[in-house]
Amino acid sequence: MSKRAGVAAAGVLAAIVLFGLVGFWAGLLVLIGVPAAAYLLLDPSQRRRVRDVSRRELGR
């Protein structure tokens, strides 16, 4: 299993647990809000590196 597949599997498992414990909308807010907040906490140079890595993976 690749690293990305493991992260995806962990995300699905976290979604199932959150939806069961706190409800659909609260779980969805956590699953979307936490990565968004983490991205916004990066400084501009770190955000640029994240975008560049994503572009390289897409083959641009």
Average pLDDT, the chain: 84
Q: Where are the beta strands (DSSP E) in the chain?
A: none
How many other CB atoms are found less than 10 A from the CB of residue 14? 14
Structural domain total, the chain:
1
Given a contact cutoff of 8 angstroms between Cβ atoms, the answer to whether 31 and 18 are in contact is: yes
- Structural domain of residue 35, as residue ranges? 3-58
**Phi, psi at 43, each rounded to 5°:** -80, 165
Position 14: which residue type?
A
Quick one: pLDDT band at residue 43, thresholds 50, 70, 90?
very high
pLDDT of residue 26: 85
Quick one: pLDDT band at residue 42, thresholds 50, 70, 90?
very high
Span 22-33, pLDDT tens digits: 888 888 888 888
Q: Is the pLDDT of residue 35 over 80?
A: yes
Q: How far apart are CA 56 and CA 60, in angstroms?
A: 6
